[in-house]
Each structure stands twice: as C-alpha cells, then as structure tokens.
Amino acid sequence: MTLNNWPPSLTTEQESHLLELATDYTLASGLVYRPPAIAPGTTPSTTSAIHAPYSLFPTPFPRHLFQQAQQLQPLYNALYAHVTTDHPFLDEVVGGAVAKVDEFQGKLYELWKQVEQEGVKQPLHLGLFRSDYLVHALPGAATADHTIKQVEFNTISSSFGSLSSKVTDLHRYLLKTNSYPTDVPELKLENLPPNPALKGLAAGLAAGHKAYGVARSAILMVTQDNERNAFDQRPLEYELLETHGIALHRIPLSQLGPLLTLDPTTSALLLTLPHAPNSPPTEISVVYYRTGYSPPDYVHPTVPSSTLWSTRLLIERSLAIKCPTLALQLSGCKKVQQVLSSPDRLASFSNKGSTPSTLSPPPTAALSQLDLDALLDSATNLYPLDDTPAGNAALELAYAHPERFVLKPQREGGGNNIYRSDIPPFLDSLAEEDKKRREGEPREGKGKGTKGEVVSELGVYGVCLFRAGGGDRVGGGEGGAEVLVNETVGQLLRTKGAESDEGGVAVGFSVIDSLLLV
C-alpha cells in the first residue's frame, strides 16, 4: 500500500454495512454534535443530536513524521512558556505592532497591561495547546524524505480532543470486529495508535487544580451560547469527576457577569451556581476558556459588549489559574508565530549552558541550540504584511504570486483565512480601508458517505503549566519560564476535500479522522 491507493475498494453492500456500524457507534459513544438551528434566529435543539463528521477509514500518515510531531510538542510547549513570560517581547511584537492595527488584539493587550500594572494575583499559567502540521512532500520524493511543517500553534480553546479520541476508538472498533476488508495487510491494530487526548487534557486541567491547592474548589469552563460542540466539552467534565474527583461547571460567558465575584482579601474567584443561587459560592481553581478567541465572542444580543469584556477582566484579576491568561492568548497570535520563524529571534529563547535535549521532553523550559534547530526545521516560510522592508517585499510577492500563499489574520476558530486568487482583491480592500481611515470615513464592520481526493492536517495536543522565572535566558527578557508540567497528550487528524482551502471541523470544512501509520 502507498499513500496514493487508499482507501480500499468496497462493494455497495460492504459500504452500507460499514456505514451502519460506524453510525451506530458514533451515536452510542457520544461522537455527536447538537443539530444546527432549524431557522435563522432560533437556537439549536438541546434534546437531539447528530453524529459529528468523521472519516470511515483511518488515513495513512508517515510513522516517522507522527513520532517527530509528538516529540516536538514539549519543545513548542516550552517555547511558548518562554514567550508568554517575556513581557518585553510581547510588548514589542503585540503592543508595538499587532495591537495598533487589530482592534480585538488591541483590547486583549490593553487588559493584559492593565492587570500587569495592578499586580498579577496568580503567577501560574496553564496551556492546553495544539500544534497543527501539514506533510510537506516534494514532487517525486519518497515517503521517507517527507517533512512536516507547522501550520499554527493554538494557545486558546484547542478543541476536538474528546471527539478525536472517539474517532480513534471507532476505527479501532471496526478493525477489531473484522469489519474492514481483511485483504489489506497494513490495516492492523499496531498501525492505529491510541489517542489519549481526552484523558491527557483532563489530566492537564487536574494538574492546574492541584497546583491551586484548595481541595473544595472547582474548575470553570467558559463556553459560547448555544454551543453545538458541547459533546467535545462534556467528556472533560466527566473525566475530571470520575478520575480526579474534581467538579467542572460549564457556563456561557454571557451569563457569568452577575455570577462571579472576587474575595476582597484573597482575590479568589467565587462563582454563584445558577442552579443553586442560595448556596454559598464555589471557589474556582482553574478557568478554562472554550470561547473568547474572536470578536464575535464579545458580542451578544442582550448583554453589552462592555459587560463581557469586564467579565474577562474580572477573571484575569483573580487568583484562579487561567487557561489561558491574556498573555498566553496573545502569545498565540499569528504575528508571534511569524516572528519566531526567524532563527535570530528564536535563538533569544534559548538557555545558556543547557544540555542538548533534542526531540525529548525537557525537564524545564531550557531550549538548546539543537532544540531550536528542530523547531526551525518544522517552521514554514512566514512573511509579515507591515510597513517594514520585509513587509513591503512580502506584499509584492502576494500580488505577483498569490497562488503560493495563505493570508492569515490574527484570529482563531476556522473560516478566517484568505487563499490564492482571493488574496489580491482582499489586499485591495484593505488598502481602501486604510484610505478611508486616513480620510476619517467610517468603517463597516447526515448518514451518507462521501468519496474524493483529500488532504489531512495533524494536530498534536500538549499540556504546559508554568510561571515566570527559572532560566538564564540568552537575550535577557525576564529570566525565562519555570515549567512544572510539560507533556504531549494526544492527537487530532482533520481531513478535508483537496478542493477545500479551509480545514475547520466546527465550521464545516473537514471531518475528524485518525492515523494509519505507514
């Protein structure tokens, strides 16, 4: 078998049988979404479900690249711990560039600086990360010569850990029951790696809770209104309760304002449970954001935007451990990723005298030169679009060869990127917006299989608990980060039609998949 002759051929009867087994498994195991709203202005049903989009077969993926991505994750965890605790770096890259041209990132930066000036109550940061990769294959190159290139690094609301674990279980179930064709020797259990993402991400939240140190406290998951992806979130709640004995409360951001207060002495975050308003408030150990990563998250039909931002500020001022803090969320913006693709800038996050730890989980945030080389090898070419000489040269490239590029804004959640021939007219529209700004003008703000050529994107989950200090970093900064937990905890494979540019599952561009290692 090669990467080009997959999946195995099925008769109509075989395909029908496989689809029936798979669909039953998805519904029985909670691999589901809430259905879409039936009409504009209505809310999704909370009493019915449909299966999440999934692939019927696992997708072949080079074993050595999967192993490389897993081994890279602790290095990326440590790198972003360094970035988050290097305030001068964030001031320069975000405050000096992104915040000046992006209103949303500017608001996040403003609140971060406000809390920093007041005095941070909780020095610990918790990251549930996901680093996304595409396989880079040169024409005619053998599989052994393929490489992986990082698409992006997610520091907030890294989703699908629970559902991706269930898709892996689905494919392993179909294999164990001999439901797949038996004449494909590569389809064997040792080539379908387990996926501990659900347990690993829950263990990361539990580590934050334990570090907080108050036994009767609970974790707060901040969600969106009318969340269709609730069944990717609920399993974390159940795992925390059953395995770790920790309660988790899921509450939309729009409802939190009147429910949260700060203890006037300790700054502990206190939550009045909406279903028990007369009971004593619950102290919150960890706040885990599954919202708050894009401008629409701070817009609501009945709650003023200022109230939603005030809620975010209240949480940031509290003693609770944030996943992520404002600083950690800012460190995940695309401009930071672009700056870190420069060897000189990346080198400023290495440690003097650190021992080589290439492709192995470092015990601290120390990054050796060999580690930096491994990170650089996984980076793709990233170009700025600013007023620097490099930015002007990149602008010329984008107009001359748009088919070679993806234009990325400082946004998360899928559906935001601009591709190929759409880039020049979009850049023209930005130029027109700049002209208006200069002139003072206002700005306007299913149960059936599908076959086709596909492209897959690998995401690797990581957990990192850290605080400032603990490293003699080259380049000064603030001494680096002291890393308390640094782990690789699972994976997500998203597969989409080759004709599609975007890759988000929640926004309808791809399906959840699993790996067949080759």
Binding-site residue numbers for Mg(2+) are: 152, 154, 412
Task: List % helix, strand, coil for the chain (3-state, nearest 5).
Answer: 40, 20, 40
CA distance 517 to 63: 5
Which of 58, 85, 70 has its CA nearest to residue 130?
A: 70
Q: Which residues make up each annotated binding site for substrate?
A: 130, 156-159, 227-229, 233, 290-293, 494, 505-506
Residue burial 69-107, b: 16+ Cβ < 10 Å; e: rest? bbbbbbbbbbbbbbbbbbbebbeebbbebbbeebebbbb
The single residue listed with the structure tokens 């004449």 is 183
CB 517 within 8 A of CB 81: no
Residue burial 30-41, b: 16+ Cβ < 10 Å; e: rest? bbbbbeeeeeee
Positive or negative: CA dihedral 184, 185, 187, 188: positive
CA distance 309 to 298: 7
Q: Which residues make up each annotated binding site for ATP?
A: 152, 334, 408-417, 419, 457, 496, 502
CA distance 96 to 388: 13
* Cβ-Cβ contacts under 8 Å for 425 (sequence gap 6 or more): none
CA distance 99 to 349: 23
CB 247 within 8 A of CB 218: yes
Beta-carbon-side half-sphere exposure of residue 81 (alpha carbons within 13 Å): 38
CB 184 within 8 A of CB 8: yes
Q: Angle at the Cα of 394 (from 398 to 382), degrees rounded to 5? A: 100
* Cβ-Cβ contacts under 8 Å for 271 (sequence gap 6 or more): 218, 220, 249, 251, 259, 260, 281, 282, 283, 284
Q: Which residues make up each annotated binding site?
A: 130, 152, 154, 156-159, 227-229, 233, 290-293, 334, 408-417, 419, 457, 494, 496, 502, 505-506
Q: Compute the residue count for the chain.
A: 518
Residue 61 token pair? 């993926």
Identify the burial level of 65 via C-beta atoms within 10 angstroms of its C-beta, where 0-12 means exposed, 13-18 middle and 19 or more buried. Answer: buried
Number of H helices, E strands in the chain: 16, 17
The single residue listed with the structure tokens 């992520």 is 324
CA distance 427 to 407: 9
| Concatenated DSSP letters of 254-265 | HHHGGGEEE-TT
